Amino acid sequence: MKRLHLHVAVDDLDRSVGFYATLFAAPPTVRKPDYAKWMLDDPKVNFAISARGGRAAGLDHVGIQVETDGELRELATRLKAAGETIRDQEDATCCYARSNKAWVNDPSGLQWETFFTFGDATQYGEDDVPAAETAAPKAACCTPKPQKACC
């Protein structure tokens, strides 16, 4: 089973946690001083928010969370077949979790993170994504910054 992942940068974490907890009718599954995550079944989504690194508020990145490393490899193979450049990342510590990941930009430059999480981490961590020719320099966890701002 796959789960859609959305990560939103926010200005005020406490206020945002209150808003999303009300919207989803549930407290966060994970709550840290700079991060919160809901693992929802209705809708089936891994929804995360963070207040880190001076990022502008708004959609940070989107992704697909899988249940096995094999599913991750299958997604990466499909993205490569579509002609996109994949940036693999093994044993990443980010968002208080340990994961294997494959990053890709869609044709418009939107960052997609496909990932398999296999453990927890005690710190937020940072992704160390190998740079693609079209990717911007490494940014704070969890996503490389796109080359240009959207919209």
pLDDT at 19 over 60: yes
- Which of the 8 DSSP states describes residue 68? S
In the chain, the N- to C-terminal Cα span, in Å, equals: 32
Q: Which of 36, 38, 45 is CA-nearest to residue 9?
A: 36
Q: Measured between alpha carbons, how far is 11 from 56 in angstroms, rounded to an integer? A: 8
E strand segments, the chain: 3-9, 30-32, 35-41, 44-50, 58-66, 87-94, 97-105, 111-120, 125-126
What is the phi/psi pair of residue 122, to 5°?
-85, -10
pLDDT digits (tens, 9 = 90+) for 45-87: 999 999 977 778 988 888 899 999 999 999 888 888 777 788 8
What is the reported pLDDT for 131?
Answer: 55
Q: Give 84: exposed, middle or buried? Use CB within 10 Å, 0-12, 13-18, 19+.
A: middle
**122 neighbors 109 (Cβ within 8 angstroms):** no
Phi-psi region of 75 (alpha: psi -120 to 50; beta: other; left: phi over 0): alpha
Nearest residue to 96 via CA among 125, 62, 67, 55: 125
List the domains of the chain with CATH numbers: 3-126 (3.10.180.10)
Q: What is the pLDDT of residues 88-145, one digit of tens each?
A: 999 999 889 999 999 988 776 888 888 999 999 999 887 665 555 434 433 445 544 4
Determine if the pTM surpasses 0.75: no
